[in-house]
Structure 1
Amino acid sequence: MNTMNPGNNQLDARNLKTLEDQLAYEALMNKKCSQYAEYCTDANLKQVCQQGAATHKTNFTALKNYLDSHN
């Protein structure tokens, strides 16, 4: 089943919903990792949490850019 119309840059409703859900997940994980980093007193654990937050922010940005390119 083709989820995109040939020659059309629009996403179908199912794929759009999946992307929106994933955007929400990445935003939440970024927020949680950032919050956990604030709570950490161990420098190594704090760094792991900060790296996780950065990864989720990067994922969010990439998904958002992809979604914006299909509007």
Structure 2
Amino acid sequence: MNSTATASKPIEANNLKVIKDEIGYELLMNKKFRKYADCCNDSQLKSLCTEASNVHRENFNSLKTYLDSHQ
């Protein structure tokens, strides 16, 4: 089976729900860590929160791209 056939294969309903839940979780965590970074006075803590925010944004983008490729 080639990769194009795999990319267009529909996602099962239970898996779709899990992916949508994870997308929401990653979006929320991105926003929270960004807010925490804005509130930090300590530069190391601010950097750590910014890094965590970026990781969750990347996770969100990856999940969204995966979801979009199956619709």
Q: Does the alignment reach a TM-score above 0.5? A: yes
Q: Distance in 2 between matches of 1:60 and 1:49?
A: 16
| RMSD, aligned α-carbons | 1.5
Match of 1:65 in 2: 65
Q: Counting helix residues as a fraction of each chain, which structure ranks higher?
A: 2
**TM-score, normalised to structure 2's length?**
0.89
Aligned pairs for 1:2-13 (under 5 A) are 9-13=9-13
Measured after TM superposition, the shift of residue 19 of structure 1 is: 0.2
Shift of 1:43: 0.2
Aligned 1:1-71 pairs, distance under 5 A: 9-71=9-71
Misfit runs of 4+, over 3 Å: none
- Count matched residues: 66
The TM-score, its normalising length taken from structure 1, stands at: 0.89
CA distance in 1, matches of 2:12, 2:53: 30
Percent identical: 44
Displacement of 1:34: 0.1
Q: Point out where structure 1 has 5 or more consecutive residues left out of the alignment.
A: 1-5
Q: Per chain length, whose mean CA-contact separation is higher, i.e. which structure has more relative contact order (CA < 8 Å, sep 6+)?
A: 2
Amino acid paired to 1:9 = K
